[in-house]
Amino acid sequence: MQQLLSASLLLAVLALGGCQQPAPPTAQQPAPPCIDESKIRGAAACTMQYDPVCGCNTKTYSNACVATNAGVTSYTKGACPSH
């Protein structure tokens, strides 16, 4: 009787999906655009301080303010490596 109960419990767990593996991920989410045109501010003023940043578009900007006003969505500190 106990074996029958154990077997019934095992079947119930399997039927409810207790041992299912998660589905593999589908295609990755597309990367956000490097330049967000809605954030471009051509008339905005920035200091002339030279503190270069490398934009996600591999263009070096003189500082973070200039990159941000160009609509760049991400950048790293320092000039972009030259190729």
Place of tokens 């767990």: 13
Q: Pick the residue with more confidence: 11 or 50?
A: 50
Distances (CA, A) of 45 to 21, 41, 42, 56: 54, 9, 8, 22
Q: Pick the residue with more confidence: 61 or 9?
A: 61
DSSP state of 39: G
Average of pLDDT values for 10-17?
A: 53
Tell me: pLDDT of 78 over 90: yes
Task: Check residue 82 and give its pLDDT.
Answer: 86
Strands (E), 1-83: 53-55, 60-61, 75-77
Task: Check residue 31 and give its pLDDT.
Answer: 72
What does the pLDDT look like over 44-54, one tens digit per residue? Answer: 999 999 999 99
- What band does 69 get if pLDDT is binned at 50, 70 and 90? very high
